[in-house]
Amino acid sequence: MVAAAVLVAALGLPSAPAAAHDAHEPLLAAMRAEAGTAVGGDGIPGVIARTYKDGIAWTGTAATDAGTPERDPDSPFRAASLTKTFTATAVLQLVAEGRVRLEDDVFGLLGPVLKTNPVAGCNLGTRQCFDAPPASPPITVRQLLQHSSGVFNYLEDLGVLAGAGSRFPNLPDYTAQQLVDEGASHGPQFAPGTGMHYSNTNYVLLGMVIERVTGRPWAEEVTRRVIQPLGLTHTVLPGSTALLPTPHDQFFTNYLRPRGAFGHLSRPAADWNPSIGGAAGALVSTSGDLITFIRALLGGRLLPPAQLAQMMTELNPAVAGSPGTPLPGVPCDPGRSWPECIVNPALSTVSSGDKSTPGYWYAGRPWKAVQADYGLGLTRRTITCADGSTVVLYGHNGGAFGSLSYLYSTADGNHAVVLNMNGDWPLWELYSLGGMLAAEFCTP
């Protein structure tokens, strides 16, 4: 059921006249589907949304049932990989200032961080190692930004996952080098620039690049360059501070994801050490701050036109040779850990009686397909609506213990949405995300 759906005058914006802005019922219906426990629903405790369209802000919430604590659309949450867009913005500011180049080599900037000894940084299966050029091809800043470096994602390392799961919420303090070591220990996954592997290690390395170039911690630079100029007073990069700023909503994790007749087993997940995310995923923010950020970014307030254009157009296409994709682009290989490489099938005409498929409960939503491409710290999503029209959005996803977040906007920043779930176990996340985005952007 809907816990609350209210029109707000946030950030000094006018409230919404009924004739100019409806009550977002399609979006609320999609949010109910995610929070619902009926067939197709994942039983997420609560979903919040904030939208901005034509100068009007709106917030809404949906909860599993009447007994679930109502969420506050203004409360802080762990934005996880939305951090990447903040980090990428700071890097591209340094590019604009001439202090770093997209073609600069990681070894030249940072030294042997990927191969700290003769054994480290080697793939025993392929017998390939991370070595400084010319022994190995260079890994560039551009390749880190667009996940085409071939560096393994440390959050896919079984040792890291097992350690986090067994110790949660008492996670250790991780240094950037420790996280890079975990990723580099798998050696190159492919030659730099020849594939796409979504890897948090890339963005931890970019944090190290920021520190090397500026002489200051990456979090201080992102705060100074992005957070403070925009007045994002509820956005922080907390380092290793485990406590989420208060007051905040409840959050729940189902780390091992047991499912079936006994439902989900979850535990509280508001407070835990975010150093495991670093420059790739430590951000804490609010829906209002994130709307302000994405509108400022796409509106040219944070980057010069050249760098903003690169951020939005140097894409890893989900389908090789997709029309209109400018080079340099690296084809996205579905076998290389970015599930969004898989283009969602047409769903609007699904009539299957199989209640276990995502098409069963999203068939009635106003969309057919979604394609995702990754740029320099931004994801571009192209939604094909039920009437055949398309909507192109820019933003990012973020997933952390107990929190799933989505920030997307049209290219001009005039229509944007933030969504946050306070549970991390949706069975068909990409379909539910597509359904919620389409409900907002495909509906007149």
CA separation for the pair 84, 321 (Å, rounded): 26
Distant-in-sequence, close-in-space partners of 306: CB < 8 Å, separation ≥ 6:
96
What are 19-25's contacts with CB under 8 Å, separation 24+? Answer: 20/54, 20/56, 21/53, 21/54, 21/56, 21/58, 24/49, 24/51, 24/58, 24/60, 24/440
Contacts of 413 (CB under 8 A, 6+ apart): 294, 295, 296, 297, 298, 299
pLDDT averaged per 10 residues in sequence order, the chain, 444 residues = 31 35 78 68 86 94 78 97 98 98 97 92 89 93 94 93 88 96 94 89 98 98 98 97 96 68 70 97 98 98 97 70 44 64 49 48 60 90 85 96 96 97 84 86 82
Q: Are 88 and 145 in contact (CB under 8 A)?
A: yes
Q: Is the dihedral of CA 49, 223, 247, 426 positive or negative?
A: positive
pLDDT of residue 22: 65
- What pLDDT does 13 receive? 38
**Is the whole model's pTM more than 0.95, yes or no?**
no
How far CA 227 is from CA of 32, 51, 82, 274, 289, in Å, comes to 32, 20, 13, 18, 9
CB 52 within 8 A of CB 67: no
pLDDT at position 413:
96
Strand partners of residue 316: 374
pLDDT value of residue 330: 64
* The amino acid at 413: G
Q: How far apart are CA 63 and CA 328, in angstroms?
A: 43
pLDDT of residue 67: 67
Give CA–CA dist 110/102, Å, rounded. Answer: 14
DSSP string, 45-58: SEEEEEEEETTEEE
**Cβ contact 122:329 at 8 Å:** no
